[in-house]
Amino acid sequence: MNKTGIQQLGIRRNGDVWQIRVWAPTAKNVLYRFYQKDMEIALKPQQYGYWYAETDLLAAGDLYWISVDGNELPDPISLSQPEGVHGPSKIVDLTFSWTDKDYRPPALSDFIIYELHVGTFTSSHDFDGVIKKIPYLKDLGITAIEIMPVAQFPGERNWGYDGVFPFAVQHSYGGASEFQRLVNSCHEANIAVILDVVYNHLGPEGNYFSNYGPYFTDKYHTPWGNALNYDDSYCHGQRDLVLNNVRMWFEDFHIDALRLDAVHAIKDFNAVHILQQIRKETDEIIAKSGKNHFLFIECDLNDRRFLDPLAKNGFGMDAQWLDEFHHALRVSVGEPKKGYYEEFNGLADLAKAYEKAYVFDGNYSPHREKFFGTDTLGIKGDHFIVFCQNHDQVGNRMMGDRAASLYPVEITRLMAFAVFISPYLPLLFMGEEWRTKRAFPYFTSHSDPKLVEQVRQGRKKEFEDFFEDSEFLDPQDETTFRNTVLNWDEQDSEVHQKHLSYYRSLIAFRKTNPGLKNIQRDEMTAKCLPDQKVLILSMRKNNSSLVVLMNFSATVQQVTLAEDLQWKMIFNTNEMDAAVLLDTDYAQTTVASLKPWSGQVYISI
C-alpha cells in the first residue's frame, strides 16, 4: 500500500521481482496460471479482499490467466490483451526511454484542442498513423490532441466507450509501447496529450469484473445497466482501480490531461466523492513530478461544484465540456429544434452562453421539466471547453453527419469563428479543419450476435426523436467503419485547401491577438440584435477595445460601431486565404457591413 492508502493493483515489476495483486473479496482461492506452461502461483489473501504474491518466475511477454475459485479468467487489470477481450492476458513492462524531461504542458488558458479517434484518423488505424501526422498538427497550430478512449475493447472497431480492460491499451492500435511513443513524439513537438477515460461504465462484451468481486452495484442504474460501485459495500475495490488507473496514465504514459467521460453517471454519495479523490491523487502526482496535469470532464448537470476547488468542498476539476454553447450555436444556424435542441432559443441563448457559460443556470428547463443548473459566478472562462463539432455531437445523429454535410461553407466558417473568439477553450474534431464530409456514426465489432442486435435496436431507439426518417447505418457493418476513416487526399482540392487555410489563420488569430489571448468572461459582454440576427461581443483589455460581430442571417446587415472611437477591422470570415486574413490592412470605419453568415472583428485605434 502506498502512502495515499491506495493498493497497487495488477502485475508490476519491482527490481528483479514481479508483484501480483488481485482484488477478489469473496474468493476462496486465487491463482496466477501460466498460459503455455503447466505452472501456477498461489496468491495469499490480504486485508480488504486483496490477494498477493511475489515471484521472479515471470517475464514481460508471458501470457497468463487468473484463476478465481477454479475459473480461469483474463486479468481485469491486464496491461495487454493480444488475443482479444476473451483471451489470456499478457505481462507488459511499462519501462520506456522517455526524452520529454524538459517538456511542460501549456497553461490551461492556452489549450487549443484537436479531438481524434485513432482507428479512423488515418488508414493505418493505429498510433503510428497519428505520429506521422504530428508535423501537420503542429503546422495547424493546435496545442493539444485529445484521444478518444484506447482501453481494450471487443474486436478492432469501436469508438472506445465499450472498453472492458481499463489498463490495457487497444492491441490493434499498437499497444502500450506505441502509445508511449506517440505521447513522447507529441511532447517533442510541444503538443500536449489528453486521454479520454471512462469511469462511469464498462462495455458489455468481455466484461469479467463481476467474476472477481462487487465492482458493480444494483443500488443505482445507468444507461448501460447497473452502476459501477463507488459507494456501496466493498466500493474500495472500484475506487482503488480508478485511482490506480489515473496514476498509470500520468506516471507511466506521461499523459498531460484526462477527459473523464459523462461524470454525471458516476453515482457516489460518499463523504469524499471519487472525483475529489482523483483530484487529490493528481495533485500528489503534480507535486512529485513538478509537471502540471489537468482533469477535464463531460457533465450535463450544470453544477458548479464540479469546478469549484476542494477548499470549497467542490470536486476541483480543471475544465468542463460546455454542450449548451454547442446547442445554442447550432440552433442559431438553423438546427431543427428536436430532442435536446428543442429548448434552445438560438442567438439569445448563445449570447447568454458567452457571458454565463451555462444557459440553464437555475431557470426552467422545458426539456427536463424542472428548474435546472447553478450560476458560474467567479469561474474563469478557461474552465469550459467549447466546440461546433465533436465525436458525440456528430455521432449523436443517426447518419453521423458532420457540419460540412449540413451547412454551406460560410456557415461552417461562422460556427468555427464563434468557437475561437469565445472566452473558453476551443476544441475541433478531426477533419473539421478542411471541411470533410466523412460521416462519424457509432461503430462496433462485437462477436456476440445477440449483443449485436441489441446494439442495433438501441441505436434506433436512441435517435427516434431526431431523424426517424433517415436510413439506419448498421454499427456492426464494417463498411460503416470504413466510411468514417479520414481521406487525407481531400486536402489536395482547392476548396478544402482554402478551408484549411482559414482554420490555420483562425487558430493563429486566437493565439496571437492580445485582445483574445486569455480573455476572461467578465471582460466580455454579449448583445443580441434579434431583428437583424446579429450578435455583438464587446471586450476591453489592455486599454484597447475589441468588438466581434456575427451575422446569423441570410441577408447583409449594417451595424454602427461606437462613434466616439475609431475602428479598424482585423479579421473577416469572408476571407479564406490565411495570408490575406493576417496581412490585409483593412480601412478604418464606424459602420460595419456584414455579409450573410459572416463574422468580423474590430479593434479601436
Decide if pLDDT at 4 tops 50.
Answer: no
Decide if pLDDT at 1 tops 50.
Answer: no
* 393 has binding-site annotation: yes
User: Nearest-CA neighbor of 335 among 401, 259, 269, 287?
Assistant: 401
Q: Which of 474, 508, 542 is the last residue of a domain?
A: 508
Q: Chain-wide mean pLDDT for the chain?
A: 93
Decide if pLDDT at 580 tops 80.
Answer: no
Of the given ranges (121-130, 165-174, 200-209, 561-570), which has the lowest mean pLDDT? 561-570
* 494 has binding-site annotation: no
Tally the residues of the chain. Answer: 605
Structure-model confidence comparison of residues 519 and 382, the more confident one: 382
Quick one: what percent of the chain has pLDDT higher than 90? Answer: 85
Verify that 198 and 297 share a domain, yes or no. yes
Whether residue 24 lies inside any domain: the answer is: yes
Q: ∠ CA(500), CA(506), CA(510), 5° rounding?
A: 145
Decide if pLDDT at 465 tops 80.
Answer: no
322-329 average pLDDT score: 98
- The confidence score (pLDDT) of residue 3 equals 41
* 325 has binding-site annotation: yes
CA dihedral 507, 511, 516, 520 (to 10 degrees): 110
434-441 average pLDDT score: 97
CA distances from 150 to 30, 165, 249, 535 (A): 28, 10, 11, 40
CA dihedral 441, 442, 445, 446 (to 10 degrees): -150
Verify that 536 and 581 share a domain, yes or no. yes
Whether residue 352 lies inside any domain: the answer is: no
Verify that 497 and 527 share a domain, yes or no. no
- The confidence score (pLDDT) of residue 583 equals 60
Residue carrying the nine cell digits 508535423: 135
* 396 has binding-site annotation: yes
* 333 has binding-site annotation: no
The CATH number given to whatever domain includes residue 171 is: 3.20.20.80
Verify that 300 and 224 share a domain, yes or no. yes
Element (H, E) at 601: strand 598-604
Whether residue 391 lies inside any domain: the answer is: no
Q: Which of 115, 178, 232, 261 is catalytic?
A: 261
Structure-model confidence comparison of residues 212 and 16, the more confident one: 212
The CATH number given to whatever domain includes residue 582 is: 2.60.40.1180
61-67 average pLDDT score: 97
Total domains present in the chain: 3
* 326 has binding-site annotation: yes
291-298 average pLDDT score: 98
Upper half-sphere CA count for residue 135 (Cβ side, 13 Å): 1
CA dist 62 and 74 (Å) reads 13
Whether residue 375 lies inside any domain: the answer is: no
Whether residue 380 lies inside any domain: the answer is: no
| 465 a catalytic residue | no
413-434 average pLDDT score: 97
Whether residue 68 lies inside any domain: the answer is: yes
Phi then psi for residue 431, to 5 deg, are: 85, -20
CA dist 164 and 206 (Å) reads 6
Q: Which of 485, 508, 531 is the last residue of a domain?
A: 508
Verify that 559 and 431 share a domain, yes or no. no
Of the given ranges (291-295, 322-326, 448-452), which has the lowest mean pLDDT? 448-452
Q: Which of 205, 298, 335, 433 is catalytic?
A: 298
Verify that 73 and 116 share a domain, yes or no. no
Decide if pLDDT at 379 tops 60.
Answer: yes
| 477 a catalytic residue | no
C-alpha cell belonging to residue 21: 495483486
- The confidence score (pLDDT) of residue 54 equals 96
Verify that 495 and 578 share a domain, yes or no. no
Q: What sign results for the dihedral spanned by CA atoms 176, 177, 182, 183?
A: positive
pLDDT tens, residue by residue, 195-225: 999 999 999 999 999 999 999 999 998 888 8
* 40 has binding-site annotation: no
SS3 369: coil
The CATH number given to whatever domain includes residue 44 is: 2.60.40.10
Long-range (24+ apart) CB contacts under 8 A made by 28-32 are: 28/69, 29/67, 29/69, 30/66, 30/67, 30/68, 30/69, 31/66, 31/67, 32/64, 32/65, 32/66, 32/67
C-alpha cell belonging to residue 255: 499523459
Verify that 537 and 502 share a domain, yes or no. no
Domain that holds residue 546: 523-604
62-74 average pLDDT score: 97
> Which pairing describes strands 50-55 and 44-45: parallel, antiparallel, or unpaired?
antiparallel
233-253 average pLDDT score: 97
CA dihedral 595, 416, 496, 501 (to 10 degrees): 90
CA dist 280 and 299 (Å) reads 20
Would you place residue 517 in the very low, low, confident or very high pLDDT band (cuts 50, 70, 90)?
confident
For 5, left (φ over 0), alpha (ψ -120 to 50), or beta? left
Verify that 133 and 282 share a domain, yes or no. yes
Verify that 540 and 497 share a domain, yes or no. no
Verify that 503 and 579 share a domain, yes or no. no
Would you place residue 587 in the very low, low, confident or very high pLDDT band (cuts 50, 70, 90)?
low
Whether residue 347 lies inside any domain: the answer is: no
- The confidence score (pLDDT) of residue 115 equals 98
Would you place residue 464 in the very low, low, confident or very high pLDDT band (cuts 50, 70, 90)?
low
* 391 has binding-site annotation: yes
* 263 has binding-site annotation: yes
Whether residue 142 lies inside any domain: the answer is: yes
Verify that 65 and 119 share a domain, yes or no. no
Looking at residue 35, what DSSP letter applies?
A: S
CA dist 530 and 533 (Å) reads 5
* 128 has binding-site annotation: no
529: which strand partners?
534
* 125 has binding-site annotation: no
Q: Which of 454, 475, 508 is the last residue of a domain?
A: 508
* 319 has binding-site annotation: no
Looking at residue 556, what DSSP letter applies?
A: -
- The confidence score (pLDDT) of residue 466 equals 54
* 327 has binding-site annotation: yes
